[in-house]
Amino acid sequence: MFSLEHITNSIQQWLYSTFSPTMALILECAIVMLLVIGLFATLGLVLVLMERKVAARMQIRLGPNRVGPKGILQTTADTLKLMMKEGLTPNGADKFLFNLAPFIVMIAAMLILAPIAFAKGFQIWDINIGVLYVSAVSSVSVIGILMAGWASNNKYSLLGAMRSGAQIVSYELSAGLSIISIVVLSGSLQISEIVASQQTGWWLFRGHIPAIISFVIFIIAVTAETNRAPFDLAEAESELTAGFHTEYSGMKFALLFLAEYINIFIVCAIGATLFLGGWMPLHIGNWEGFNHTMDYVPSSVWFMGKTFFLIFLIMWFRWTFPRLRIDQLLSLEWKYLLPISMFNLLLITLIAIMGWHF
Amino acid sequence: MTNNELKDHITQGQPSAVFDETGEWLNVQVEAGEWKAFANWLRHDALQMDYLFCLTCIDWPQTKHLMMVYHFTSTTFRHNVVIKVKLDRNNAEIETVSDIWRTAEFHEREVYDLFGVRFLHHPDLRRLILTDDFEGHPLKKDFEDPVNMIKL
Amino acid sequence: MYRETQIIEADNKADGDDLVINVGPQHPATHGVLHLVIRLQGETIQKVEPHLGYIHRSIEKMCESLSYRQFIYVTSRMDYLSAHINNHACAMCVEKALQLEVPPRARVIRVLMDELTRIASHELWWGAMAMDLGAFTPFFYAFRERETINDIMEETCGARLTMNYMVPGGVMYDLHPNFQQRVKNFIQLFNNKIDEYDDLVTGNIIFQNRTKGVGVLTKEDAISFGCTGPVGRASGVSCDIRKLYPYEVYDKVSFDEIIEMGGDSFSRYLVRIKELRQSIRIIEQLIDNIPEGDIQAKTKAVLKLPKGEFYSRAETARGELGVYIVSEGGTTPYRIKFRSPGFSNLSALDHISRGSKIGDLMAIMGTLDLVIPDIDR
């Protein structure tokens, strides 16, 4: 059976048998770095293409269909174009911060990738406070956005960045509380253990209605955190032209754009890990035959399938809903989502303590 | 209300008004100095002319005057009346009515821009369409622009 | 920096920390080259000041040197979304002056074309307004149906946008033989599509929250600002020229004047959506009853209007269009004034958007349905 775990293990064995331990560690780091960058590039291309195709499908049109077979090379061509373009820095901008901002956003996105379990035994860093690490690092990107907005010397950018700051900081709370509810159920902060705790069934199904509520809140909160419609106020193009990245062009724009899609991937991966069992196959109670068949599907496919399902969900929102207004956005969080998720956490704690979950 | 009834009413409000019934609607000509008081009377008294649907100006260089034309309707009684005010072409000044009919604010700015009529006590009398440093008033008959105008 | 901005920034110094931003002349939400200078306190709008003139072509001046047949073609470029109705209003004004009797067939064709134009215009508005609020998909849905109308127009008049179909005395060509069948097909298709629009946008909770209670224009203000069309009717003003001063065959068909009392963006939205159904109703009554006969009254090759002043009013998709011709008896007008609905509707923008958020401004502008060439004639 295809398994990424065997490949990584054999590579590691070969490295340690050929080189000294320090050298092997360095080589491992280099390989991981290359893989992450490769994953970033591919994910960027795939997700942008997927977005355009999904959008086209919802809008009764074809989408990209000229470059390459069925247009799959369109995003590659776009990336090439963005690389060739001149990276302008506007007059009066704070040059240092302006150029730094895309990298901060990008680095924050890269860092969160570390504890994510892509398949069984295929994880860069199985840190014991994985979930905490993710929520901590994901807040760093807001600094990059604020920096981009402030340094651009553009009023639209400034407004967009301020909106984004208010939005991300608020919705972090709900997202955090939803994550905590799963931590309470599984009793661990470590990603691998959270996945392992879902061996008998996904938390979404095992945690009764409170788990479903926290899943819904999680999806809403992460949509807001990644600045996606209907919460895309930071770049609301009909109000602020392009919000915080109005003044960016060329590769610096591409980095911000890429980071947005990587962030979507990451939050969906976290969602899939916490609520949909990560790489765990779908198991239903005592259906031995069914469960056995499901085990034959490689764990990486399970993980990617779940993640892309959630990504599709978020894209679906984007192409269906109008945008909220800033005060509605904040009152939704502070007046509705936060109290609900707090109460929900209480229920989940009760369920976990009494052992009422399946 | 028929034109005769309208005339009776208007004569009560403005004895010096001059009438002209050749057009589709009753035309009333008043003096520029009396215009503001008459406008207030039109809006608030018996006729209730609350809807100013057209405000414009016509340039008559032969007789050296500008003619302000106001078209009114009353949304309660549904009668129309056209008010005309004659202005001196070289020193066109008239009281604004933008405090009575708010749509006049924009229309008067347009007329100021294109005809050069100064509206006294207008809250924000600046050029609306052309740039602030533009010279001349294009809808006047003697306006010449050798670069941008094409004669047919 | 624009000169206009400096003016505001100068009087801004006293107020302290307000932020002045320029929306437009090139901006995704202004649908053309409208330039708004907005003074903000945080996200709250203190003042909106429109600056016009970016595409002013001085159509009124141009018309002074065009003959009474020619000037009609220029008016297609005013409110390009209701080109038929603009042409119609001008043709009516010339007919009124010449006291021409338009043949019954031409009258019915004119009304049919007007109503199709109204549907096409409202369709575009619906898509563009949803896009202003951040929903992209409706735009494509709207264009799918609008395309059908454009095809019908193209078949009949040879143009899709600037029709130039109405001439003094009637219409330019006879209807294409396919016209009736295609319009019937369209009506059948369109009746279901309006329900789809309601599902997609009208019932959406976010959309309702974004538009209800936003940009409220009271009845008194609507009259005072001269707001007509759907904007005026959403504030409870009865201002449908088709009902008040019926022209052509509007007095012979039955349709309702849609009036909402809310005065907010949602009411303006509802008025237009309901008007779509009324336009369908008018077309349904007329499409099978197009009388046979001439399509044009007999006119001279060169039209000469008698000395005098003539005014005609027509209801475009945006409101009351007035055509005011002053004639000195020659072959060209002495002065023409177009009373365009968008101009008056725009003047209310500052009044109704003060105190709301930037996002609301887009909702308000969207529902005012501004077409900039109509404002900048």
CB-based contact, C142 to chain A, within 8 Å:
no
Closest by CA to A48, choosing from A30, A73, A68, is A73
Interface of C with A in 204-263 (CB under 8 A): 204, 206-207, 209-210
What's the CA gap between C326 and C307, in Å, rounded?
8
Q: Which domains does chain C have, with CATH numbers?
A: 3-51 (no CATH), 59-375 (1.10.645.10)
C-beta atoms of C134 and A230 within 8 A: yes
Confidence band for A2, pLDDT divided at 50, 70 and 90: low
Residue B121 one-letter amino acid = H
CB contact at 8 A, C324 and B54: yes
DSSP-derived secondary structure for C180-231: HHHHHHHHHHHHHHHHHHIIIIIT-HHHHHHHTTSS---HHHHHHTT--HHH
The predicted-structure confidence for C293-351, as pLDDT tens digits, reads as follows 888 888 888 888 888 888 888 888 888 888 999 888 888 888 898 988 888 888 888 88
Nearest Cα to Cα of residue C270 among C235, C300, C299, C301? C235
Please provide the average confidence, as pLDDT, over all residues in chain A. Answer: 84
Q: B102, C225: Cβ pair inside 8 Å?
A: yes
User: Which residues, numbered 55 to 84 in chain B, qualify as contacts with chain C under a Cβ-Cβ cut-off of 8 Å?
Assistant: 56, 58-59, 69, 71, 75, 78
Angle at A257 between CA A251 and CA A260, to 5 degrees: 145
Tokens representing C31 are 């649908």
**How much is the mean pLDDT over chain B?**
83
Q: Region A306-326: what's the mean pLDDT?
A: 88
Share in percent of chain A as helix, strand, coil (round to 5)? 70, 0, 25
Q: What is the mean pLDDT of residues C244-248?
A: 86
CB contact (8 A) between residue C207 and residue A322: yes
pLDDT digits (tens, 9 = 90+) for C250-299: 888 888 888 888 888 889 898 998 888 889 989 988 888 888 888 888 88
Would you give the DSSP letter of residue A124? S
Q: What is the ipTM of this complex?
A: 0.86
The rounded distance, in Å, linking the Cα atoms of C329 and C331 is 7
Comparison of pLDDT for C6 and C130, the residue scoring more: C130
- A neighbours by CB contacts (3+ pairs under 8 Å): C
Chain A residues near residue C362 by CB distance under 8 angstroms: 238-239
Which among C211, C265, C242 is positioned nearest to C110, based on CA atoms? Answer: C242
3-class secondary-structure state, position A187: coil
Rg (CA), chain A: 21
Q: Tell me what pLDDT residue C236 has.
A: 87
Confidence check: pLDDT of A69 > 60? yes
Q: Which residue of B106, B131, B147, B152 is the best one to mutate when testing the C interface, meaning the one whose CB has the most C CBs within 10 A?
A: B106
> Tokens 């009845």 sit at which residue?
C219
Q: In the block, which residue shows the tokens 């080589």?
A: A27
Which amino acid is located at C13 in the chain?
K
Average pLDDT score over residue span A154-174:
85
**Predicted pLDDT at C10:** 52
Nearest CA in chain C to A154: C21
Q: Mutation target for B interface from C48, C52, C99: give the one with most B CBs within 10 A.
A: C52
Ranges of each domain in chain B: 3-91
Which of C28, C43, C140 lies at the smallest CB-CB distance from A237? C28
What is the pLDDT averaged over residues B98-112?
87
* Average pLDDT estimate for A297-324: 86
Report pLDDT digits (tens) over B21-61. 777 788 888 888 888 888 888 888 777 888 888 888 888 88
Instruction: Quick: pLDDT tens for C128-158.
Output: 888 888 888 888 888 888 888 888 888 888 8
pLDDT given for residue C3 in this prediction: 46
Q: Which tens digits make up the pLDDT trace of A135-144?
A: 888 888 888 8
pLDDT at position C7 is 47
pLDDT tens digit sequence for A222-235: 888 888 878 887 77
Worst-scoring range by mean pLDDT, A206-210, B32-36, B136-140? A206-210
DSSP A291-351: HHHHHHS-HHHHHHHHHHHHHHHHHHHHTTPPPPPHHHHHHIIIIIIHHHHHHHHHHHHHH
**Residue C13 pLDDT:** 53
Note whether A239 contacts C358, CB cutoff 8 Å. yes
Residue at C229: amino acid letter: G
For residue A239, the chain C residues in CB contact (below 8 A) are 29, 358-359, 361-362
Question: Any idea what DSSP says for residue C306?
Answer: P
At the fourth CATH level, which superfamily is domain B3-91? NADH:ubiquinone oxidoreductase Nqo5 subunit (3.30.460.80)
3-class state of residue B93 by DSSP: strand
The encoded tokens of residue A356 equal 């009422």
pLDDT score at C14? 47
By the 10 Å C-beta count (0-12 exposed, 13-18 middle, 19+ buried), B100 is classed as: middle
C211 near C200, Cβ under 8 Å? no
pLDDT at C16: 62
Helices A250-275 and A74-84 meet at what angle, rounded to 10? 140
Q: Which of residues 6-45 of B touch C (CB under 8 A)?
A: 22-25, 27
Residue A127: both structure tokens together: 């840190």
pLDDT at C110 over 60: yes
